[in-house]
A and B are shown apart, each in its own frame.
Chain A
């Protein structure tokens, strides 16, 4: 076949491929890229219901000086730092214990841990609200029954416990997917490598760190990045459970953004927060890719 003819066929195939991609691309443009661009632009305006006035970087300056935003940033980082390692370790632990079990047992555990993921956030939060209820909650009842506490604790209203209470829910709703991924990944580790290492005298710990862990790195990278992003975007739990209280102790950047936009109608200021949050997430994800992606074998 002549090269000109081949090029024509390739060109046609390329065009058809792009045409198939076009609908998704249009959605991506319309619902992701364009809103992102608009968010960046409007963050430079004093934008509220009355209209828009260009203010340059004033929103950003005001945001960095805002004590509530500073509190929100600290709270958000607390949730990220708390949830990501715990999610990874707990998921790995559960997966390691269950992946070689009988398929029925394995499915049972997968189902148990995945249940909070497939259950709606609102339903999960309502259940946790009952658990944490200061007057009638089962948690207080259990702890009092075991003589661990004398008086009821206001888990989501007490400044000492509120953020921890949120962190626990965040972890329980985050571990489902990682457990499933780790079980699948562990099942895919070649048995020959493990057996060869055992023949060479490696103990269980050495087998895990030298053989299995490197094979799990691509999965771990994905889990770390996704859990980090989800933790940074923690919103519905806060809105439904604490509304950011007590005294901004559980306000996250996402919740403060929502409050600024929808309760104070300061859209420009809220967009500035969104832009900074996106930059923070982007930077941390970049670092995670650099740190964990180097040894990843795809």
Chain B
């Protein structure tokens, strides 16, 4: 009897260890969810179950009478006060769930450093979210790889007419279908420190009238004055990958080059203007007018600017101005936003488009619920405009009107839309191209390559990336 009891105990122990270990493994992903969504109390029947394959995203369960979807949110929305990341997003969810009790939205906040890798890994593991708020660069690359649900039915004639911007609408497309539902947009620009310019007697180099456009000649004059007064211009940041669009726009504007041709089919930045710009930048770095930024990423370049260590930054936007306003104020620095200088004084601006996409998780009910959620976030009478203002940019829908009445600075940012250049972030292989950009810049400013050779090599690799993506 005792012997049998021993057997039972030892067998039970082994089973317990095995089961607890496996259970621990299974519970890991649930615990990752940063914000628990309130339980849906709906008695409304869920939309008809899809006959497509039943793939479940992380922490979601579409069984049990309601639909549960997951939203992964980058820190795009400004939070009120000292609220932690995700607080405002949860408010949106709460408002949506109040109006749609049959849908539960689970929120997970991700950051720009590790978020993209998390998405890639989750796509391959089949555990990706349903809704993502991001920009076309990544979203269209997911679409090109067949990972997203087409949103054509959301682009009604009224919506298209309301947006009335073909370039912007095209940025949401892959092939003939729309995959990103846009909500807001703004141009990337640069900013100078008024304090440094006044101290260096360089205020006459910039233009504060109208759209504040200016020339490369004036820009060069400004840098010389700053240097003579003991100021460091800006960093030619080229570490990491974030913010690469800012320095690319700076390079292309200086001598009227362009990253791609107008049809966005091939890279052209190794043209005469591009080479001249890179040559000049190298000269400015060698002269100490700008800082070799091989050790700085885009965010750190902005940090240096708002800390007063550099006199200007080539990475600025209304969103950044809003996020850094408090620090600038604490440091007593007044930032003046400007378009990039160009040889002819007419800038070609790169711009941000914020929008939502829906991942194809093989569940039509979740896809429909996701679209409903996106529609709410973008078009709800109360939350649509509020969500645009929370990112400090401008609505894509003209019917929303002026969301910043009386704000002269926002009026200036809005004026830059007329200088929008062809949007190349949706070109096939864009993600691969980005991995070649900063090494090229580093090679030039560190003297490893001549500008022409470095740009030729970059363009060859970038054009190959288009082929690789096909």
Binding site for B on A (CB under 8 A): 16, 19-20, 22-23, 26-27, 48-50, 132-136, 154-159, 162, 242-248, 258-259, 261-265, 267
Contacts and interface: CB of A to CB of B under 8 A. Distances in A.
Contact of A245 (B10, B431, B438, B449): B438
Nearest to B19: A23
Contacts of B442: 157, 245-247
Contacts of B446: 157-159, 246-247
B50 interface: no
A244 B443 CA distance: 13
A276 B72 CA distance: 35
Contact of A267 (B22, B124, B291, B296): B124
B interface, how many residues as a size bin? 35 or more
B435 A264 contact: yes
Nearest to B237: A157
Contacts of B239: 156-157, 242-243, 245
Contacts of A158: 292, 294, 446
Contacts of B449: 247
Interface string B5-47: 0000011001001100110010000000000000000000000
B401 interface: no
Interface stretch (B115-123, B265-273, B417-425): B115-123
Given A247-B439, A263-B435, A242 B295 contact: yes
A144 B14 CA distance: 64
A154 to B, nearest CB: 5
B252 to A, nearest CB: 21
Given A23-B17, A246-B294, 19 more contacts: A19-B11, A27-B21, A48-B145, A49-B124, A156-B239, A159-B446, A162-B294, A242-B239, A243-B239, A243-B240, A243-B241, A245-B439, A246-B448, A247-B442, A247-B446, A262-B120, A264-B435, A265-B145, A265-B431
What secondary structure prevails in chain B residues at the interface with A?
Answer: helix
Interface string B441-467: 011001011000000000000000000
Contacts of B291: 134-135
A285 B107 CA distance: 45
A20 B448 CA distance: 58
B145 A134 contact: no
B145 A26 contact: no
Contact of A134 (B21, B121, B295, B432): B295
B348 interface: no
B145 A262 contact: no
A23 B123 contact: no
Contacts of B294: 154, 156-158, 162, 245-246
Given A19-B14, A245-B438, A155 B241 contact: no
Query: 10 tightest CB-CB pairs across the interface, nearest first?
Result: A157-B294, A157-B295, A49-B145, A246-B294, A246-B442, A19-B14, A23-B21, A247-B442, A247-B443, A262-B117
Contacts, number: 107
15 contacts: A16-B14, A20-B14, A22-B18, A49-B147, A50-B145, A134-B292, A157-B296, A243-B240, A245-B294, A245-B439, A245-B442, A247-B448, A247-B449, A262-B117, A264-B431
A27 B21 CA distance: 9
B232 interface: yes
B431 A50 contact: no
A264 B25 CA distance: 30
A159 B448 contact: yes
B347 interface: no
A263 B241 contact: yes
Given A16-B10, A22-B14, A135 B120 contact: no
A38 to B, nearest CB: 11
B287 to A, nearest CB: 13
B304 interface: yes
B86 interface: no
Contacts of A155: 295
A26 B19 CA distance: 11
A246 B292 CA distance: 10
A155 B292 CA distance: 11
Contacts of A49: 123-124, 142, 145-147
Contacts of A50: 145-146
Nearest to A20: B14
B309 interface: yes
B292 A154 contact: yes
A19 B432 CA distance: 48
A157 B292 contact: yes
Contacts of B443: 246-247
Interface string B122-137: 0110000000000000
Nearest to B297: A243
A218 to B, nearest CB: 32
B293 interface: yes
B304 A26 contact: no
A135 B309 CA distance: 8
B247 interface: no
A165 B10 CA distance: 54
A136 B117 CA distance: 31
Contacts of A23: 17-18, 21-22
Contacts of A48: 145
B187 interface: no
A149 to B, nearest CB: 15
B434 interface: yes
